[in-house]
Chains A and B, each alone.
Chain A
Amino acid sequence: RKEVEQDPGPFNVPEGATVAFNCTYSNSASQSFFWYRQDCRKEPKLLMSVYSSGNEDGRFTAQLNRASQYISLLIRDSKLSDSATYLCVVTLPSNTGKLIFGQGTTLQVKP
């Protein structure tokens, strides 16, 4: 079983739609959780950290469910510019600096 699993998609949605991605992780001791966004042929960029209480940044909402070991990302009112690959990232409590990446979920927002 992979340490971090995501549905690779692609998710094809119309502009204005609400779309949600899930990510599951296998290690219950996982410590920190992030969503990164990566545009084609560009570097990953931190989109948001994910906290147990849930957090929101504009149209983006992230949730963490430790009991079920999954995190989610909700995008409301999708824009064409949201088209990208969204990477779920987890760290372990070993303080090694190692990020564990999921395979990424590709989102294509269409006009």
Chain B
Amino acid sequence: DTEVTQTPKHLVMGMTNKKSLKCEQHMGHRAMYWYKQKAKKPPELMFVYSYEKLSINESVPSRFSPECPNSSLLNLHLHALQPEDSALYLCASSQDLALRGALRGFGQGTRLTVV
């Protein structure tokens, strides 16, 4: 069982909707990540938070807005998405950014469909 929990597991939203994806971990990890994965492609990094501060934004469009309210929670706020944003959104965490030998856990993902 994964120790990174994502909700919801599935989400269908219209292009004018506002929704949020949630991610939670209680492993004491201080780095948290959002990835986007399209079918038959590897995960693509979107955002990295370290100690609740945004560390990396991989030039993600502003219709995706991350938020890290505390060390255990990571949100991804969605607004005015396009159909091409439909994908599996994965949250992950690690002890810190160094990653050397650190175990990386992914959540089960939210499968997002934009209609």
Contact = CB atoms under 8 A, between A and B. Distances in A.
Q: Which secondary structure characterizes the binding site on chain A? A: loop
Contacts of A95: 97-99
Contacts, number: 58
A46 B48 contact: no
B31 to A, nearest CB: 5
A91 B90 CA distance: 18
B103 to A, nearest CB: 6
Interface stretch (B13-21, B37-45, B61-69, B70-78): B37-45
Contact of A91 (B99, B105, B108): B99
Contacts of B99: 32, 91, 95, 97, 99
Interface of B: 2, 31, 33, 41-43, 45, 48, 50, 55-56, 88, 90, 94, 96-101, 103-109, 111
Interface of A: 31-32, 34, 41-46, 49, 87, 91, 95-99, 101-104
